[in-house]
Amino acid sequence: MNRTTSTLLLLLLLVLCACQAALLEPAEEPVPRSLPLVLYERVIISTESYERWAIYEDGTVLENDIVKTSLSLEAVAELLRRVEEAGFFDMEDVYMPEQPAPDQPLYALTVRGEEEIKTVVTMEGVPMQPAQLQALIDYVDALVKGRASAAVAQTP
């Protein structure tokens, strides 16, 4: 499979993931709490780089399904405050340029709300995306990588 084909398949996969919530009928029951609170994915096609981070309600952070660290409950609450403040659940599902650049990071951010799961897919530097979305992505990236101040819980 050549690079163009693999790039198109990857983009299609991310768009399908982002649109999955729109295809599901509204749930009669709340979203299960066993699912991650936030799922953050970052892909750079030209370098074949892929990161997948899951943040759970108790602060557990997994990187590619391996426990990486633990966030304080205050950091989780701050993350949810920023999600709400950014208007994440009202954003479009996809913000992509007409000609995706394989050397630009591609992001998928999924957040579990009380009654819905929302995914937004974007590429860094897309002019039509809200500034709040890139700020939220930057914050989540710093949070999971331990660069956000007071994010990581102290473990004995």
- Are 17 and 41 contacting, i.e. CB atoms less than 8 angstroms apart? no
Cα angle for residues 112, 124, 133 (degrees, 5° grid): 40
119 alpha carbon, distance to own chain's centre: 7
C-alpha dihedral sign at 80, 134, 109, 70: negative
Confidence of residue 68 (pLDDT cuts 50, 70, 90): confident
Which among 95, 99, 104 is positioned nearest to 129, based on CA atoms? 95
Confidence of residue 69 (pLDDT cuts 50, 70, 90): confident
pLDDT over threshold 70, residue 141: yes
Number of domains comprising the chain: 1
Backbone angles phi, psi at 97, to 5 degrees: -75, 165
Distance CA 19, CA 38 (A): 17
Residue 54 lies in a domain: yes
pLDDT over threshold 50, residue 26: no
Q: What rounded mean pLDDT belongs to the chain?
A: 80
Domain interval for residue 110: 3-22+35-144
Residue 124 lies in a domain: yes
Residue 155 lies in a domain: no
pTM of the model: 0.77
Beta strands 94-95 and 117-123, pairing class: parallel
